[in-house]
């Protein structure tokens, strides 16, 4: 018998997957501009300088400053804390949504996860390997949220996560894949925020903006670590 929690998580994942497909079919775009790069995965994105990152979806707010040294203000920190949950079901649902979006929009990413080939069709979605992978990525986000009051700790943490991904270069991991990870985070988090009944519309819009900033901050530092790692460079060497 399938445990109730796993059954509910699977049902949630299927629902999110259908929602992701419907968004894709309608041609919707989640397009927070990136810092000094050209997205080869999703050509519909707009370009921006890292010192002037504007937001889509009609948001009037914009990020001003160096995204690599982003320091959220008190209101933004409280929004992040209030809209995050470390409960297993919430983490699994978010992680599943992120990877379903990635695989829907860039199927080439599936080659990074050899376990998928062991399953027929979409059976991999219910595998223990997928559940483990879905949780790994959101645990990275959880660590960032945990340290929003100590942002000096997050840069080196995310940089080292990027460095660790160098071992996947042989499987075909490319630095532009960080773009689709960011798109997926934006998509999944925006969908999650839209279902929060305890936020008014203004708060939801502000939360979308700050989470998009966090997604950009996260992928910029992971990308930096990955690119430096391929060159044999580590700007945060372990202390001796």
In order of their start, the domains of the chain are 4-17+52-230 (1.10.490.10)
pTM for the model stands at 0.76
Is residue 62 within 8 Å of residue 52, measured between CB atoms?
yes
Q: What is the pLDDT of residue 21?
A: 52
Residue located via tokens 């986000």? 141
Chunk the chain into consecutive blocks of 10 residues (it has 240) and report each block's average pLDDT, rounded to whole numbers.
55 53 44 36 32 33 71 92 92 94 92 91 91 92 92 92 94 90 93 90 91 93 96 83
28, 196, 30: which is closest to 98 by C-alpha? 30
Q: What is the pLDDT of residue 178?
A: 92
The pair of three-digit structure tokens given for residue 150, joined into one six-digit string:
């100590």
* Angle made by CA atoms 70, 71, 72, in degrees to the nearest 5: 115
The pair of three-digit structure tokens given for residue 142, joined into one six-digit string:
């959880």
CA distance 29 to 137: 22
**HSE of 213, CA atoms in CB hemisphere, 13 A:** 30
Q: What is the pLDDT of residue 26?
A: 44
Q: What is the pLDDT of residue 67?
A: 87
68, 42, 16, 77: which is closest to 211 by C-alpha? 77
């Amino acid at each position: 018998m399938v445990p109730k929690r796993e059954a509910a998580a699977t049902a949630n994942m299927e629902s999110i997957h259908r929602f992701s497909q419907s968004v894709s079919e309608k041609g919707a775009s989640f397009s927070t501009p990136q810092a000094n790069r050209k997205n080869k995965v999703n050509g519909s994105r707009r370009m921006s300088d890292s010192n002037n990152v504007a937001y889509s979806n009609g948001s009037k707010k914009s990020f001003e400053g160096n995204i690599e040294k982003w320091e959220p203000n008190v209101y933004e920190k409280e929004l992040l804390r209030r809209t995050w949950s470390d409960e297993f079901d919430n983490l699994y649902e978010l992680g599943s949504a992120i990877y379903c979006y990635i695989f829907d929009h860039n199927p080439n990413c599936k080659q990074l996860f050899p376990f998928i080939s062991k399953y027929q069709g979409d059976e991999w979605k219910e595998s223990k390997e997928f559940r483990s992978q879905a949780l790994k990525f959101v645990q990275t986000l959880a660590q960032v949220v945990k340290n929003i009051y100590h942002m000096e700790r997050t840069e080196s943490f995310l940089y080292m996560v990027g460095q660790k991904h160098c071992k996947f270069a042989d499987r075909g991991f490319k630095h532009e894949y960080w773009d689709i990870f960011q798109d997926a985070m934006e998509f999944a988090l925006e969908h999650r925020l839209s279902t929060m009944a305890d936020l008014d519309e203004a708060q939801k819009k502000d939360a979308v903006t700050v989470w998009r900033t966090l997604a950009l901050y996260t992928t910029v530092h992971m990308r930096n670590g990955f690119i430096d790692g391929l060159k044999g460079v580590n700007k945060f060497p372990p202390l001796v």
